[in-house]
Amino acid sequence: MLPGIRFCMPSAAALFGSLCHGCRSRARSLSFWGCSWSPRQNSRWNSQDSIQSTAENPRILITGGLGQLGVGLAEILRKQYGTENVILSDIKKAPPEVYRSGPFVYADVLDYKNLRELVVNNRITWLVHYSALLSVVGEANVALARKINITGLHNVLDLALESCLRLFVPSTIGAFGPSSPRDPAPDLCVQRPHTIYGVSKVHAELMGEYLHHKYGLDFRCLRYPGIISANTQPGGGTTDYAVQIFHDALSTGHHECYLRADTRLPMMHIGDCHRATVEFMHAPECQLSLRTYNIAAMSFTPEEVSTEIRKHLPHLKVTYNPDSVRQTIADSWPVRFDDSNAQRDWGWKSTYGLEELVSDMLSSIHDKKTNAGLPVS
Residues labelled catalytic = 197
Between CA 267 and CA 116 the distance in angstroms is: 35
**For the chain, what is the total number of helices (H) and then of strands (E)?**
16, 13
User: Rounded to whole angstroms, what are the CA distances from 43 to 5, 51, 166, 317?
Assistant: 15, 11, 10, 54
Helical pair 241-251 and 302-310, crossing angle rounded to 10 deg: 30
Residue whose C-alpha is closest to residue 42's, from 76, 8, 71: 8
CB 170, CB 130: distance < 8 Å: yes
Q: Three-class SS of residue 49?
A: helix
What DSSP character marks residue 233? Answer: -
Helical pair 354-371 and 241-251, crossing angle rounded to 10 deg: 50
Between CA 292 and CA 314 the distance in angstroms is: 41
Identify the burial level of 344 via C-beta atoms within 10 angstroms of its C-beta, where 0-12 means exposed, 13-18 middle and 19 or more buried: exposed
Between CA 200 and CA 202 the distance in angstroms is: 6
**What residue type is 150 in one-letter code?**
I
What DSSP character marks residue 47? Answer: S
**DSSP output for 129-195:** E-----HHHHHH-HHHHHIIIIIHHHHHHHHHHHHT-EEE--EEGGG--TTS--SSBPSSS----SS
Query: Residue 96: is the preceding peptide bond cis (ω within 30°)?
Result: no
Between CA 230 and CA 366 the distance in angstroms is: 10
